Amino acid sequence: MMATRTLNATLGCYTKRVLAKNVKLSDITGMKLKVFKKNSGKLAALQHSKEIPWNIERVFFITTRNTEDRGDHAHVHGSQAFICIMGSARLVCKDGIELREFKIDPLDEVVVVPPGIWVNINLSSDSGLAVITDLPYDENDYITKWDDFLKFKGLS
């Protein structure tokens, strides 16, 4: 069973690596979450089979006290799902040709970004963002220079 999992994971990464160069902004998906509201707050849930289209390998959280920009990079292999948990967040996504913005309100929606998309995250003051990924952290998965991203996409 372990060999099968490793083989499937390797094949999945290979497929993404080949396709990431051709990913376009139209491949980004956004969907509303079902939110249960009470006077005391909100509850929202995600399910692997519905809102997250892949196995979850890593979850991390970003919080800010002041307005802050984060991100400014792309991933070669990894997909990410972004959920604002407090305050507000704006994702500025670029495929090397076009730009698309997503405003995310707390717990109202999830934005799923495939590999091969440059993402800048604008966070309002006192905000929080949860990020769910399909791969564990690997610094080699990051493209942090815009010129390198354009080369990766075959645009320079």
CATH number of 2-152: 2.60.120.10
Residues 6 or more apart whose CB falls under 8 angstroms from that of 149 comprise 74, 96, 118, 143
Give the separation between CA 146 and CA 134, rounded to whole angstroms: 23
For residue 59, give the amino acid letter.
Answer: V
Q: Is the separation of the CB atoms in 32 and 109 below 8 Å?
A: yes
Residues marked active site are found at 73
Question: How does pLDDT run across 4-59, given as a tens digit for each residue?
Answer: 222 233 334 434 444 677 888 888 888 888 888 899 988 888 877 777 778 889 99
Output the DSSP codes for 101-122: EEEE-TTTEEEEE-TT-EEEEE
Q: Give me the pLDDT at residue 19, please.
A: 61
The answer to pTM > 0.85 is no
Give the separation between CA 15 and CA 18, rounded to whole angstroms: 5
Average pLDDT on 88-97 reads 94
